[in-house]
Amino acid sequence: MRTLLMVGAAVLLFPATVLIAFASLSLPAAITVTACALGAHLTLFGLFRRATMTLLIISALVALQGIITGLFVLFPSTLLVLPALHGAAARGNRYVASTVAVLGPLAAAARYAIDPSIVDSEFGPEPWLLALLLLAGCAVAVTLGLLRRAELRTVELTAAQLDLEQRERSHREARAAAGERARISRDLHDVLAHSLTVIVGQVRVARFRTEDSAAALQVIEETARESLRDLRGTLQSLRDPDADTRWRVGTDVGSPSPTWNAPLQPTPSLSGLPALAARMQDLGLVVHRRTEGRIRPLGSAAELALYRFVQEGLTNALRHGEGAVEWREIWEQDRTMITLRNAVPAVDRGSDGLGMGLEGMRERLAAVSGVLTVDRTSGFAVTASVPYVETRDSGDRA
């Protein structure tokens, strides 16, 4: 489209310029004017690549025509200065365009005023009127160019804003995906670390204490079933992300093994802590539990985080062979704190070999605005502190 416009301007303006030049000037002057006009038309093709340079070249060629005759303003090809001004104001140096728009008409009017042939013939308008007309035309060209410049800048800023939003969206999606992977990793770790610790311990009982092998095998079976239920619940959340996360896949009533079409069971909560403590004591870990204060609502996510915290802490104590764990719950005015402490210094449990020990606890608690603290001054102790959830019904729970 741009090329078509420039070709059209050349077809309309250049022949008329040649005709006027050869009709009114001497042959050498006419040839010079024709060469300048042709150069101006060819230079105009570079307007969209180097607008300021194009304006300066066309202005110089028009000025050369002005040196030859004061009537150069009548040559149609002189109009090429206007699109050059527009292009420079829109895409090039607007200060250069403004300067040319002011000095050019003044210089043209001055040349027109001192040309002897024009003065003697009294042809055309007064020089001051010609200056006003040329200034008005150049002002319109520059103004339209500045408006186009603002439009192009707006388009550029809009594109940059869209690109920035796209990048931020990609970053948010990447962070969400990383957070989801971390959540799945913590869930799988919590399930497998606990169940495998129990299973390994019971396998040892079955091997070395024949009289207790039946009970040990039963514990292994129950632990494996529960692990399968939790794993299937995690996988179900991946397959159906819109499902209610408060429930997980369970087993059919009377079914000996978990199934994919089994009814849903609630995820672990604080109500399951007594059963967890009883199971650990059955496996040989002595648990001394003490509760202080009034139990208050926490919310399903916070209760799951605290359940997993206790499960991880007791599982670590069982795996490391610690005989007794002091379990203390303190329900304060604004938060609850659970501390698991053993008197025997143990190995560093910041990692269980997979890098998911204390760090996994910390991440899970942080997701519900909780805090994990570790104390190694007297034995080994971990404390989870989680704020209460504001609810309309703040009654006590059983």
Residue 246's pLDDT is 43
63's enclosing H/E stretch is helix 51-68
Say whether 332 sits in a helix, a strand or coil: coil
Is pTM beyond 0.75? Reply is no
132, 49, 61: which is closest to 88 by C-alpha?
A: 49
Q: How far apart are alpha carbons 27 and 34 in whole angstroms?
A: 10
Give 320-340 pLDDT, tens digit per residue: 766 788 899 999 888 899 999
Residue 150's pLDDT is 93
Q: 65 to each of 17, 25, 68, how far by Cα in Å?
A: 11, 11, 5
| Interstrand relation of 286-293 and 324-331 (parallel, antiparallel or unpaired) | parallel
Place of tokens 């079914």: 255
Q: How far apart are alpha carbons 121 and 24 in whole angstroms?
A: 14
Integer-rounded Cα radius of gyration of the chain: 44
| Interstrand relation of 335-342 and 371-375 (parallel, antiparallel or unpaired) | unpaired
Q: What is the pLDDT along the chain (398 residues), one digit of tens a residue?
A: 777 878 888 888 999 989 988 988 889 999 999 999 999 999 988 888 899 999 999 999 999 998 888 888 888 989 999 999 999 999 999 999 999 999 999 998 888 888 877 766 666 678 888 889 999 999 999 999 999 999 999 999 999 999 999 999 888 888 877 776 776 776 776 667 667 766 766 676 666 666 666 766 766 777 777 667 666 766 665 655 554 444 444 433 334 444 444 444 556 788 888 888 888 887 778 888 899 988 887 888 888 888 888 888 888 787 776 678 889 999 988 889 999 988 665 554 444 433 456 777 888 888 888 899 988 887 788 999 999 875 434 444 43
Handedness of CA 104, 110, 112, 117 (dihedral sign): negative
Residue 238's pLDDT is 60
Residue 248's pLDDT is 44
The domains of the chain, with CATH numbers, are 2-159 (no CATH), 270-398 (3.30.565.10)
Q: On the CB side of 165, how many CA atoms lie within 13 Å of its CA?
A: 6
Q: How far apart are alpha carbons 280 and 314 in whole angstroms?
A: 7
